[in-house]
Amino acid sequence: MNVLIKSATIVDSKSDFHNQTLDILIEKGIITQISKHIANPKKYQEVKLDNLHVSQGWFDSSVSFGEPGFEERETIANGLKTAALSGFTSVATNANTYPVIDSSADITFIKSKSKDHAISLYPIGALTKSGEGNDLAELFDMKNAGAIAFYDYQKAVSNPNLMKLALQYASNFGGLVMSFPQDSNISGSGVMNENRTSTSLGLKGNPTLAEELQVSRDLFLLEYTNGKLHIPTISTAKSVDLIRKAKQQKLDVTCSVAIHNLLFTDEKLTTFNTNFKVKPPLRTQKDIDALIEGLKDGTIDMVTSDHNPIDIENKKIEFDFAKYGTIGLESAFGALQSVFTLKKSIELLTKGKKRFGIESNGIVVGSKADLSLFDPKFSYIFSKNHIISTSKNSLFENSQLKGKSYGIIANNQLVLN
């Protein structure tokens, strides 16, 4: 693939070209020239777009595609198309399929489905067999097959000894263990944040204590084992404090937050819109403020869309029985920019790669072209027309967003909206 990008503002704080508007020549997937004006005698395809900006390719550490088993929610092919058109060049996919991705053969299957695609797909293997929390899955074999981490998606490992063994065993081969921050014995059948709002709505509450107890337990286990832990999608102020202290103790821990937990409070559930039924639940403004501060000071390492397509049959039903989850790839960039500056938004969309062992390619001559293309100024109301996913369960519908993706250049391919 040979492409000439014209008049693009480069957003890459580690590049000498940061904040400069330049042409970028890409030949056979490699950046061969960056300059104020590049001629095009070979008649390569030119990319000229309004207010075009480029950055290193974005990465999402928690994406769910239904295949295999739940293709009515999303297929891998359409999921990758959605990610690419949303500006992501790499995604880590969760194991919440049917059957659950818990063996090397499963990892090989998932990787084969993404072969030759512009997007790089990195499978996360289940931590326990069938994701049931009873016995460890084939962690080492899955690692060798290409799994980048191990996680029972949105399922807490209630047995502390099993989590201890997982951290100890995975440390032998540098495996990254992920633990969902929720004590299910405390959360019980709660469907939203336990607060004044849940009481007024008559819905069972899930207290912040459920998350904080689990985070605290896992950090104690991490300290004991000297393992390697990632805590996905924290949602409370105290969780931020606990992880901040753990990092000060030099424990090998990272964490993420779902973008929607940075924008919406539990008061959004007063309409009983099941798209706002997510896990962990939407919390309070105090929690949001702490999460944002945690991202600013580096306590929270990355953001995720926590993209989780759910078919209409499992969403358009009574709130108590609706499944948890929202799609988020299409709205991720525009939502993030409503909270942070452009520079910080791009940093948060790219810095998770290192933790998951994914190569970063800077915007420099000689580097592999792994680029996200976007317009950071474009303002719009997000609607169903902007949804590419098969499922339409977005809690960002009717929200004002700032910034849109044009597409990506990655793996020697150009994908544009």
Per-position DSSP letters for 200-258, written without gaps between them: HHT--EE-HHHHHHHHHHHHHHHHHHT--EEE-----HHHHHHHHHHHHTT--EEEEEE
Banded model confidence at residue 14, pLDDT cuts 50, 70, 90: confident
| Average pLDDT rounded to a whole number, residues 378-396 | 97
| Average pLDDT rounded to a whole number, residues 396-402 | 97
Residues in CB range of 39: below 8 A, 6 or more apart: none
Banded model confidence at residue 197, pLDDT cuts 50, 70, 90: very high
- Written out in words, the top-level CATH class of the domain with range 57-356 is alpha beta
Banded model confidence at residue 13, pLDDT cuts 50, 70, 90: confident
Q: Which residues are tagged catalytic? A: 306
- Percent pLDDT > 70 in the chain is 100
Q: What is the pLDDT of residue 333?
A: 98
> Both tokens of residue 300?
């929270």
Average pLDDT, the chain: 97
Residue extents of the structural domains in the chain: 2-53+364-377+402-416, 57-356
Banded model confidence at residue 346, pLDDT cuts 50, 70, 90: very high
> Both tokens of residue 65?
């595609």
Residue 246, pLDDT above cutoff 90: yes
Asked if residues 58 and 349 have their Cβ atoms less than 8 Å apart, the reply is yes
CATH of the domain spanning 2-53+364-377+402-416: 2.30.40.10
| Average pLDDT rounded to a whole number, residues 185-196 | 97
